[in-house]
């Protein structure tokens, strides 16, 4: 009778030990699987970060706004990224904001494209209204107070037709009376001078960003 009792106790202990062993084994498997999943997620995250950095360095150029010639849309010390013209030739449109090199000073300048290659533009109605190939164009990005000063101190007069050469652009600052641009000293900007087209900007003051 005692022998049977001992055998039952031993059998129970062996089963219990096996159950504990299985539980420990399952926990190890779960932990190993969890670690593997975390490792996979981290690997994917690192690949995404590396890919984004490569795209940024290859396709984009960092810019920092200097001065207030593009206010009220861009302000001094705002910073952002412009897509290089190697990847953005088809994206230079009217009212695109471009970064180009001044052929004289070799400094980078930020202005807005007003006229495209081969177009004829003029400013009518006391210089308030922009006409491109005879059609009135809405300058939605600045208010009327700034638009009316477009010709102030400029190289062109009201109603004068400006014919833009091929492979060149006519650019202006949004702050028309405080900008060195095609109207004020720079003349036409050649295609080869353009470094990139602004994609997005982070304000120096405040939060968020603007996408262009």
The verdict on whether 66 is a catalytic residue reads no
What whole-number distance in Å separates Cα of residue 193 and Cα of residue 191? 5
pLDDT of residue 30 exceeding 80:
no
**Strands laid side by side in the 162-163 sheet:** 135-137, 129-132, 120-124, 162-163
- What mean pLDDT comes out for the span 149-165? 81
Active site residue 111: yes
> What residues have CB less than 8 Å from 155, skipping those under 6 apart?
183, 184, 185
Q: Active-site residue among 69, 96, 122, 199?
A: 69
**pLDDT, tens digit, 9 for 90 and up, residues 47-96:** 777 666 665 666 888 999 999 999 999 999 999 999 987 765 557 999 99
**CA pseudo-torsion sign 139, 161, 106, 177:** negative
Alpha-helical regions (H) of 94-203: 144-147
């Amino acid at each position: 009778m005692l022998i049977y009792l001992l055998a039952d106790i031993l059998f129970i202990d062996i089963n219990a030990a096996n159950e504990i062993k299985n539980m420990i084994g399952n926990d190890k498997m779960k932990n190993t699987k969890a670690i593997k999943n975390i490792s996979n997620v981290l690997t994917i995250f690192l690949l995404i970060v590396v890919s984004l950095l490569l795209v940024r360095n290859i396709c984009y150029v960092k810019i920092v706004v200097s001065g207030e010639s593009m206010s009220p849309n861009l302000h001094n010390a705002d910073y952002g990224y412009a897509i290089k013209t190697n990847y953005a030739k088809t994206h230079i449109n009217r009212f695109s904001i471009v970064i180009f090199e001044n052929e004289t000073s070799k400094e980078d300048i930020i202005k807005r494209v007003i006229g495209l290659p081969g177009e004829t533009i003029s400013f009518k109605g006391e210089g308030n209204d922009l006409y491109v190939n005879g059609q009135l164009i809405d300058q939605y990005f600045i208010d009327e107070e700034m638009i009316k000063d477009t010709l102030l101190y400029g190289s062109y007069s009201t109603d004068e037709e400006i014919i833009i050469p091929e492979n060149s652009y006519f650019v202006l600052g949004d702050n028309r009376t405080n900008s060195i641009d095609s109207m004020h000293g720079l003349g036409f900007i050649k295609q080869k001078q353009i470094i990139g087209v602004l994609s997005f900007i982070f304000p120096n003051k405040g939060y968020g960003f603007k996408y262009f």
